[in-house]
Amino acid sequence: MAKKVILKLADAQDYIDVSDNFTTERFERFATRAQETPLRELLGDAIYYLLYNDLNEDGVPQTEPYIKLVNGETYDYDGDTV
């Protein structure tokens, strides 16, 4: 099964100039490595895996808390703002 990629090339292009030589496939390899280590460490295993399991096959979150998290919003979880 292919890995689900949260960060898309189009998302990055909204904030930085990306060379035309940087293919979607190459970007997804980078994004997958970034989400498997730094993002997982930042969120903690529990929230990371809840988010990952909520993604559809295109890497798009399906429920409100994770949609908000991926789009840069905050929410409350167990008394803490995440």
Q: Per residue in 22-65, pLDDT tens?
A: 888 888 888 889 888 998 999 999 999 999 999 999 899 999 98
Report the pLDDT value the prediction gives residue 54, as an integer from 0 to 100.
96
Q: What burial letters (b/e) apply to 4-33, b meaning 16+ CB within 10 Å?
A: bbbbbbeeeeeeeeeeeeeeeeebbeebbe
Report the pLDDT value the prediction gives residue 48, as an integer from 0 to 100.
93
Which has more confidence, 74 or 39? 39
Report the pLDDT value the prediction gives residue 11, as an integer from 0 to 100.
83
Tell me the whole-structure pTM to 2 decimals: 0.71
If phi over 0 gives left and psi between -120 and 50 gives alpha, with beta otherwise, what is residue 71?
A: alpha
Q: Is a pLDDT exceeding 60 seen at residue 1?
A: no
